[in-house]
Amino acid sequence: MNIENEWEWVKIPNGEWAAVAKYRDHKLSEYNTNPIIRSLPPIFSREKFVEYVTRLPTCKSSERELEPQYRFHCIERLSRYFDPLNKTVDLQQVVCVLIMQGYLRRNPLQPEYALRSGQIYQAVLSGGGFNLEEYVDVPTSASGLTIIGPSGIGKTTNLLNILSLYPQVIVHPAHSVYQIVWLKVDCPHAGSLKGLCIDFFRAVDKLLGTNNFQKFGVKRNSEDYMLAQVAQIAHTQHLGVLVIDEMQNLVAARRNSSEMLNFLVKMDNIIGVPVIRVGTNEAFPILQGNFRNARRGVGEGGVIWDRMENNREWNFFIEGMWEFQWTKQYIPLTANITSALYYESQGIIDIVIKLYKMVQWRAIALGSEVITVDLIHACAADGLHLVKPMLDAIRSGDEKWMMKYKDIAPLDTNLYRNKCLDSLEETDLEEVRRLARSSQRMGHISATLRHVIIELINLDVPPATAKSCAEKVVTPHGENADKKVLIKEAYKLALQCGNISTEPVQHQERKIKLQPKYQENDIRVIVENAKKNQTPACEDLKALGIIKDPLKDFFIGE
């Protein structure tokens, strides 16, 4: 299956091919008022997604008979092999939600869009890219995602394959705009924000044939200014999701990495463009360092990808890959081979595919044309010697050793999670949840209804009765009726119900006075008694030794 046939394509001068928008109605009504979402492909079921995304190389049995040099070319097809894993399917759903939700409040037909656009321009004019929040106050609906995992396990490959289901650029003839559905930028090596902005401008220019780099990417422009421009472009071109790959580069950054992390948070918090941060294990500490980021990253939408384990999924994956064999003699897969492959690759997909290629080359080159377990080990020893130390470290399970290779350093998520929870003060958490809950509940009750209920409760109507009476009155009258009339009617209704105690309850409560528990020599008792007897309280207190006799202080010398 190929998504390319489902679109009509036009070539942007100096840019890439763009798909012509076709508007479809999604099953969820909230998406159907926004042309930017309506132009996206439908939400795929898991089956459909797997069908679309799987990339199998062509492999005919007749090709096994070809001369060796041709088969070398055939084997190279394996580098484009893509077989979605279970977590790919999960990731796809997360990404799909991310993109659609991110667009939800960036609807070009709604006033918020133009308002935000104007506000970002104010930030551009004053060069306020770092503190966008001072300029922009329109609510957004985007959230971020962080993917962390050792290198070579296919984070980027999976993500790009998922994103390939979306046309990268969609042209909207009715709105005269190019929509960039996704954009991937690598985190610059020095970790500089300017570098990131420049890469962003370049990437957009490459797609749309614009000259943003020339206009805004001049070195002498301030970082602040460039950041604001990035925000404006992302907003104007309806950027669906921004992928920042190689986040681990930030570790080597000369400057504090928090500036970039902060900016990325602002991109989704303030501009509303979802950001996916991808990095190897090395990036973990810096994402942890900034708590706000960490919570956003792993707490809300975080995926930690680890090496595959030697289990059923591994077997399934190897089974799928094994089909593509170009040796003259087809060797069926055995359990020994599977575990040998696992031993040599330690569940790193990139390595296992490379190894499989090498094994085939070797078998063909040797002329034996037979793949054996020994051959696998031999190839690994020869071909993987560069990564051998790392693989050895993984194999040993020795964490200290693994730490040497930051890419593959193990992640201690438990420790991390506890740290997060500690940092969030419990009361704060409760407060946040309570607020969320009440605002949800209030959402169902209109302002008028709430007003009437509160007034009734003030008139000593029990809350339950107040609510039912208010609802009975407000519903037929509508929202815009005079509140005073509504309250009167509702109160009348409540009186007819007879549930109201004629005796005001509050009054009784007020009469009851607190009976304090007095201790022995309680100052309160002493003072009250003194008041009753009309004597100075200080005498009694002095007698009990609670206060010192001031005169005595003066005659200490005697």
Partner 1 sequence: MLSFFPTPYPDEILYSVFARYHARSGNIKPDETLQELFNSRNIIVRPDLPYNLSYLIKNLPLLSQHTLESLIQKHTLYPMYAVFMPDSKSAILGYMKGELGTYIYRGIASSVYLPKYFRFCPKCLFENLHTFGEAYWHRLHQTPGVLVCTIHDVVLNDSIVPIWNNQWYQVGIASLENCPISNVTKNYSESTKELLRLIASDIEWLMTCDFKSLPSKELDWFHIQYIVLLIKRNLATLDRQVYEQGLRQKFLSFYGSEFLEALGINVSNNNINLFNIFRLHLEVFDPVMHLLMIRFLRHSPSTFFARKSKYKPFGKGPWLCLNPACEHYLHSVVTKLVMLLSNDLDSTYSYIKNPIGTFECDCGFQYSKIGVNLTKVDKFRFERIVTFGQLWEQKYLELNVVDRLNFQQAAYNLSFNYSKSPMTMLRKLEALWKSLNDSVEKDAG
Nearer to partner 1 by Cβ, of 36 and 487: the residue is: 36
DSSP output for 140-188: -----EEEE--TTSSHHHHHHHHHTTS-SEEEETTTTEEEE-EEEEEPP
Measured from the CB of residue 106, what is the shortest distance to partner 1 in angstroms? 12
Nearer to partner 1 by Cβ, of 116 and 184: the residue is: 116
Smallest Cα–Cα separation from 344: which of 374, 316, 313, 312?
374
Nearer to partner 1 by Cβ, of 112 and 306: the residue is: 112
Nearer to partner 1 by Cβ, of 177 and 445: the residue is: 177
3-state secondary structure at position 241: strand
Q: Residue 316 to residues 23, 86, 229, 358, 543: CA-CA distances in angstroms?
A: 38, 11, 47, 21, 91
Helices marked H in 278-398: 284-289, 291-294, 312-322, 335-345, 349-366, 373-383, 388-396
- Give buried/exposed letters for 171-210 (b at 16+ CB in 10 A, else e): bbeeeebbbbbbbbbbbbeebbbbbbbbbbbebbbebbeb
Q: Residue 444 to residues 201, 438, 441, 450, 460: CA-CA distances in angstroms?
A: 44, 10, 6, 10, 24
Nearer to partner 1 by Cβ, of 168 and 237: the residue is: 237
3-state secondary structure at position 243: strand
Nearer to partner 1 by Cβ, of 110 and 499: the residue is: 110
Inter-residue contact 363 to 378 (CB < 8 Å): no
State the DSSP H helix or E strand holding residue 401, giving kind and residue range, or none if neither. helix 399-404
Q: Using CA atoms, how far apart are residues 299 and 420, in angstroms rounded to an integer?
A: 9
Measured from the CB of residue 194, what is the shortest distance to partner 1 in angstroms? 16
Q: Using CA atoms, how far apart are residues 126 and 135, in angstroms rounded to an integer?
A: 10
What is the distance in angstroms between the CA of the first residue and the CA of the last residue of the chain?
Answer: 108
Nearer to partner 1 by Cβ, of 88 and 212: the residue is: 212
Give the binding site for partner 1 (CB under 8 A). Answer: 10, 12-15, 18, 20, 110-118, 121, 124-125, 171, 173-178, 204, 208-210, 215-216, 228-229, 232-233, 236-237
Measured from the CB of residue 505, what is the shortest distance to partner 1 in angstroms? 46
Measured from the CB of residue 108, what is the shortest distance to partner 1 in angstroms? 8
Measured from the CB of residue 5, what is the shortest distance to partner 1 in angstroms? 19
Measured from the CB of residue 169, what is the shortest distance to partner 1 in angstroms? 10
CB count, 10 Å around CB of 460?
A: 16
Smallest Cα–Cα separation from 271: which of 292, 244, 242?
242
- What is the token pair recorded at 514? 């607190």
Nearer to partner 1 by Cβ, of 138 and 387: the residue is: 138
Q: Using CA atoms, how far apart are residues 136 and 124, in angstroms rounded to an integer?
A: 11
Inter-residue contact 317 to 85 (CB < 8 Å): yes
Measured from the CB of residue 220, what is the shortest distance to partner 1 in angstroms? 14
Measured from the CB of residue 203, what is the shortest distance to partner 1 in angstroms? 13
Nearer to partner 1 by Cβ, of 177 and 538: the residue is: 177
Residues in the chain: 558
Measured from the CB of residue 105, what is the shortest distance to partner 1 in angstroms? 12
Measured from the CB of residue 232, what is the shortest distance to partner 1 in angstroms? 4
Measured from the CB of residue 14, what is the shortest distance to partner 1 in angstroms? 7
Nearer to partner 1 by Cβ, of 125 and 436: the residue is: 125
Nearer to partner 1 by Cβ, of 177 and 459: the residue is: 177
Smallest Cα–Cα separation from 235: which of 202, 274, 207, 198?
274
